[in-house]
Structure 1
Amino acid sequence: MNKTVLITGSSTGIGRAAALLFAQNGWNVAATMRTPEAEKELNQLENGLVTRLDLEDVSSIESSIQKAIHRFGKIDLLVNNAAFGQYGIFEALEPAQIEKQFSVNVFGTMNVIRALLPHFRAQKQGNIINVSSAGGRIGIPLISMYVSSKFALEGFSEALSYELASQNIRLKLVEPGGVATPFHETSAKFFAINPELASYNEFSEAALAKLGQMGENMSTAEEVADEIFQAATDNSDQFRYIVGEDAKGWIKHRTSMDDLTFARHMRQLFNS
């Protein structure tokens, strides 16, 4: 019996690439997204199911899981990929924007896991891969809300992994750096701006320029999908999988420097 993966956020980018890769390797794929009626490719997969899942709609989460189980008999792997990035100076953000960031990236992911755990426990096994970010390990200006949501996801995932190990359920993290997908373009549309905060302009311009330089060597969605597939199939106890030379460089700096040295490095980097 073929294994089955349920992937959130499959309409574009990493989620779509992962759905295609798992399907090519003989897996049944439940590709979930907010607007499945617009999908033209994944619903043509012989071993695929396209269904609606909105991380802010618990009923859609439960429905997509039940549809996948009804179609394929079971789910072996959950890939929590769906997320978005809220960009902008923190002081320019409205409370509703902050709440939206956590509603999707943190609480939505938690709700998907919560809904699927009874199935995993009943079959006495299961696997979860949460797609985090190098920004879940490092504070980066102008995306404080995005990185804080990923910091939360990292801490939650690490703690939860110990609980789930007692149930023969394995949880892993994949941490990409910059990825050439519509994610950044979409997130840029929600860049928070407040004209009254002009004193930040000089810093914002320098930081944006640096972020732009960092975006010149991004990984592809397919490279991240490859790492997700590796994490899902290597049968190891490895917890974190870092994707991209940029992410590896950032995390190496963070883990090799003491806090003061790293903070000075970051201040110099983003104020130059």
Structure 2
Amino acid sequence: MITGCSSGIGRAAAMYFATEGWNVVATMRDPSAASELGDLPSVLIARLDVQDNGSIQAAVEAGIARFGSLDAVVNNAGYGQFGLFEAISDSQAKAQFDVNVFGVMNVLRAVLPHFRRQRSGVVTNVSSGAGLFTLPMISLYCASKFALEGFTEALSYELLSQNIRTKLVIPHGGVTETAFSERQAAAAARGAAFEDYGDFVSEVEQAFAKMTAARTISAEEVAGVIFDATTDGTERLRYLIGDDARGFVRARRTLSDDDYVAFMRSHFAKQERS
């Protein structure tokens, strides 16, 4: 079962698993967006909104009824809230966590009893480089992905006792076939009350535009890593996929904390104020 299959990585993952001979429960909030997925006999299209427990339970039950069991769940559904923290409302902040963190938990609460009964299963959570390092203007998104990373790592200890493997797939550097950055910009939180940030916001948006233009990995490549992580039979937790040309992942993993923070701030030196 894969969440968020209406576009991007989710759609590519559903196609990849189906091509590899798997039966797939491809879920999305609006099943009318299924497109070519709906034409594949090994794919069941199911409505699932990670904020709606009823739809989650119905999708799980439909998948088991159609295919007999569930062997893996890929938690892919998510989005990014872009903007100044001060300009992000309480409801926007809660929505970011409701989808990216609590939505994953909601899906797992519905799936894990089935995995425990059959004494097997794989949980693959799609994270982000923003769960390893941070950037300005996406503080809520980073917070949600850091939470997902911590939750998944801790959960992996519990689930291994039940013969359930847990995986984190971490795309970083941007994915070409997703509209992720564009959706972030459209949902950006800003306003006249925060004019003090004007120059900073302009410069950061230019930096993000360059990052978007430099995206080099495809949704299909990420789907391949999701498939490999889910099917490799190992207890490995993290799988990174992307271009670390800017060195953010390397810096996070190799530098001291002080040196890492200094390195990241150097990318926004113009915004620093005495």
Interval containing the TM-score (normalised by the shorter chain)? over 0.9
Residue segments in structure 2 that go unaligned for 5+ positions in a row: none
For normalisation by structure 1, the TM-score amounts to: 0.95
How far off is 1:214 after superposition? 2.1
> Where in structure 2 are the equivalents of 1:67-86 lying within 5 Å?
67-86=62-81
Match of 1:49 in 2: 44
- After TM superposition, give the deviation of residue 248 of structure 1 in Å: 8.8
Indicate conservation of the 8 Å contact 2:71/2:122, yes or no. yes
The 5 A counterparts of 1:101-250 are 101-177=96-172, 178-180=174-176, 181-215=178-212, 216-246=214-244, 249-250=247-248
Contact 1:217 1:246 in 2 (8 A): no
Q: Which 10-residue stretch deviates more, 29-38 or 257-266?
A: 257-266
Unaligned runs of 5+ in 1: 1-5
TM-score of the aligned structures, taking structure 2 as reference length: 0.95
Matched with 2:255 is 257
Contact 1:210 1:269 in 2 (8 A): no
Moved more, 218-227 or 163-172: 218-227
Aligned to 1:217, the other structure's residue is in SS state coil
* Worse overlay, 180-189 or 28-37: 180-189
In the alignment, the residues of structure 1 paired with residue 59 and residue 182 of structure 2 have an alpha-carbon distance, to the nearest angstrom, of: 27
Task: Report the 3-state secondary structure (helix = DSSP H, G, I; strand = E; otherwise coil) of the residue aligned with 1:241.
Answer: strand
Secondary structure at the counterpart of residue 84 of structure 1: coil
1:66, 1:87 → 2: CA distance?
35
Q: Secondary structure of the equivalent of 1:7?
A: coil
Amino acid at match of 2:230: A
Whole-angstrom distance in 2 between the partners of 1:246 and 1:63: 40
Distance 1:82 1:247, change over 3 A: farther
What amino acid does structure 2 have at the position aligned with 1:55? V
Give yes or no for contact 1:206–1:271 (8 Å, CA) kept in 2: no
Task: For residue 247 of structure 1, report the CA deviation from its aligned partner.
Answer: 7.9
Match of 1:3 in 2: none
Contact 2:5 2:34 in 1 (8 A): no
Could you say which residue in structure 1 is the equivalent of 2:29? Answer: 34
SS at structure 2 position matched to 1:246: coil
Question: For the residues of structure 1 that align with 2:58 and 2:175, how far apart are their CA atoms?
Answer: 30
Deviation of 1:43 (Å): 0.9
TM-superposed deviation, 1:233 = 1.5
Paired residues of 1:90 and 1:142 also in contact (CA < 8 A): yes
Task: Give structure 1 regions of 4+ aligned residues with deviation exceeding 6 angstroms.
Answer: none
For 2:51 and 2:246, locate their aligned partners in 1 and report how far apart those are by CA, in whole Å.
Answer: 32
